[in-house]
Amino acid sequence: MSAVYSSKNWKQQWRLFRLSQDWPAIVGTEIGRLTSPAFFRQDALWIFVQDSAWMQHMQFIKLDLLKRLNKVLEEQPVTDIRWLLPPEILAKPKRQVSEPLPISPQEEQTFRAMTESVANQECREALHRLWQTLADHSK
């Protein structure tokens, strides 16, 4: 594979592929679970980070990560590490909220009859509100 990548001038991609394969072993399992190498830009490695809180944490351990990475990338060491949030591949569809359909009096009466055995009035009312919410969303 190395020869193929070299012949196509894909050295940076090969370098990134090799780094991705050993990522958890290089950076540790916890950091490896929350991050992934994104791309090289000149001598800097850009790393996808799960969220901005982890991005801030990564800044504190940047020097240690540079040392670990450069042990693996000794032929072409990186001089800097940059962080970015991963792009959203698919935009989350906006949920359409429609007006709830009315519950028939018979349905409500049937449910109230089922909950009559609950001694605590507050619990009965809470069950009724929960049932109404579920009924509204299932229609």
**Who has greater pLDDT, 92 or 1?**
1
pLDDT in tens, 64-103: 999 999 998 888 889 999 999 988 753 445 556 566 667 7
DSSP 97: -
Q: Give 2-84's CATH code, choosing from 3.40.50.280, 3.40.190.150, 3.30.300.180, 3.40.718.10.
A: 3.30.300.180
The pair of three-digit structure tokens given for residue 89, joined into one six-digit string: 């591949």
pLDDT in tens, 94-131: 556 566 667 788 888 888 888 888 899 898 888 888 88
How far apart are the two ends of the chain, measured CA to CA in Å? 55
